[in-house]
Amino acid sequence: MRLIALLLATTLFAADAPKAKAPAAPKPPEPPVYLTETEAAAVNTDYKLQGEYANAKMGANVIALGKDEFRLVLFKGGLPGAGWDGTPKIEVEGKRDGEGALFKDNIDSATLADGGLTIKSMGITLKRTIRHSPTEGLAAPKGATILFDGQNADAFVDGKIDPRGFLEANTKTKQAFTDFKLHLEFFLPFKPLGRGQGRANSGLYLQHRYEVQVLDSFGLKGLDNECGGIYKNAAPKVNMCFPPLQWQTYDVDFTAAKFDKDGKKTANAVVTVRHNGVTVHDGLELKGATPGGGFKTEVPAPGPFYLQGHGNPVVYRNVWVVAK
């Protein structure tokens, strides 16, 4: 009996004992993020092929998707904002081929090598080109308020400057604004394995109410939640996003919403946005505040600029504003 009781107790104890937890599955490695062109070119051969290509009749975006995969987007007439006639784009998937890439889907064949894109069926070659915004480095005019010139981040709440001397995202201005002209320049990291909103997401909030999206949308459709779009309000007239690791510009002309003495809105806010020197919104009336901002509703009060932090190392420079 004593033996039976001992065996029974041992069995019950084993049943009640906590079971050892299975080891947690290892987390997948974080997708690579490259912060400088030199770094990307040194360790990621796909970056060397990504970019814009053009001749007098055609423009092309070559987007690196990671793991030796690419997407080719062709524009008849030239690049967006520089000749494209607005006709439907041709999009082709491709893969690495030696030191270059080969595209076969939807077209006869296209090869990418030695700084050129050759499309066999069209009998043309497009050359690699690097564009710069005509307002890159634009000096602040007399009377402007300098918000960031690389010297300090004193104009921003908990503003941080990265080792390269650029203003990090996830901060807002201490000063609030009503009607204004704003200039800023932004720089997107290269995230070849990122997709959609995971590809260098940030945002410029006007009055902390209306978001002009900041995103690596190079070669994408140009939607309201992509670069140059005003979230939940309007898509840009043209997708002017340059490839990542190139400086880009926003020039914004903003007139705040109007209210009567009882606080009822009598006129919508109006905004004109130039992205890399091209007007992507022209006198657009804003329907209302966009999600994600600090001010969820429109009221007759000024607001700060907010550079949204979304877990991506997006940086800014040459930020200034002229009150109207």
Mention the CATH class of domain 145-323.
Answer: mainly beta
- 298 membership: H or E segment, kind and range: none
Write phi, then psi, for 15 (nearest 5 degrees).
Answer: -70, -35
Among the listed residues 96, 126, 90, 89, the one whose alpha carbon sits nearest the alpha carbon of residue 108: 90
Beta bridge partners of 302: none
Instruction: Supply the pLDDT for residue 3.
Output: 40
- Check residue 108 and give its pLDDT: 66
pLDDT, position 27: 62
Query: Where along the chain do the CATH 2.60.120.560 domains lie?
Result: 145-323
pLDDT at 1: 46
- pLDDT at position 302 is 96
Distance CA 283, CA 273 (A): 8
- φ, ψ for residue 29 (rounded to 5)? -60, 145
Give the model's pLDDT for residue 15. Answer: 46
Distances (CA, A) of 141 to 50, 167, 284, 303, 305: 36, 21, 25, 22, 19
Residues of the chain where predicted confidence (pLDDT) is lower than 50: 1-15
Show the tokens assigned to 26.
């290892």
**Could you give the residue ranges of the DSSP H alpha helices within the chain?**
2-16, 37-43
Other residues' Cβ atoms within 10 Å of the Cβ of residue 237:
19
Q: How many CB atoms lie within 10 A of CB 188?
A: 28
Per residue in 37-46, pLDDT (tens digit) is 888 888 777 8
> Which residue, among 97, 99, 48, 52, has the nearest Cα to 74 in the 3D structure?
52
The CATH 2.40.128 domain(s) of the chain lie at 40-129
CATH number of 40-129: 2.40.128
pLDDT of res. 2: 46
Write out pLDDT tens, residues 255-309. 999 999 999 999 999 999 999 999 999 999 998 999 888 888 899 999 999 999 9
At residue 172, the pLDDT reads: 98
- Closest-CA residue to 244 (of 41, 29, 30, 31): 41
